[in-house]
Amino acid sequence: RVARLGTDQRAVTVLRAGRSTERDLAAGGPQPAGALVHGDWHLGQLGRDAAGRWLLLDLDDLGVGDQAWDLGRPAGFWAAGLLDDASWTTFLAAYRAAGGPAVPSDGDPWPRLDLPARAEVVVAAARAVHRAHHGAEEWDDTAEALLVACARM
């Protein structure tokens, strides 16, 4: 849909980032063995029951794949400045402490998260550009942060 916006500068920026991400995905390397993934995971997919236990919500996209992709949205939004450092650091530390398999238990997580994070930012930016272009939403600080992140890619 964004490609149909022609020379709209925001669309051009998102498309350029998308092409770069797509090339890197196609060039890929060995993929980790498939494992259970949520498929649409973000921080809004967590809830608590009456006893305070964590619940994973909205399982309709559950499948098998690379678990790093489930962390793509929070990682990308942190890289775009939409998730503050303290929240990201706390989330990542808790994920690792719980034995989360998508990233190494210590060290730099970005070799595993870079591509999923970039892809999630491109998708979110494309949605923002499309909605703003068609008057469905105003261009806001979130959309601008996503666009700036695409321009850096």
pLDDT digits (tens, 9 = 90+) for 59-112: 888 888 889 999 999 999 999 999 999 999 999 999 999 999 999 999 999 999
Size (the chain), residues: 153
Chain-centre distance for alpha carbon 21: 12
| Distance (Å, whole) CA 45 – CA 4 | 32
Contact call for residues 10 and 129 (beta carbons, < 8 A): yes
| Burial class of 119 by CB neighbour count within 10 A (0 to 12, 13 to 18, 19+) | buried
pLDDT at 134 over 90: no
Minimal CA–CA distance to 43: which of 28, 58, 30?
58
pTM of the model: 0.85
Phi, psi values for residue 36, rounded to 5°: -65, 130
% of the chain with per-residue pLDDT over 90: 63
| Distance (Å, whole) CA 148 – CA 37 | 29
Contact call for residues 48 and 80 (beta carbons, < 8 A): no
| Count of CB atoms situated within 10 Å of the CB of 71 | 23
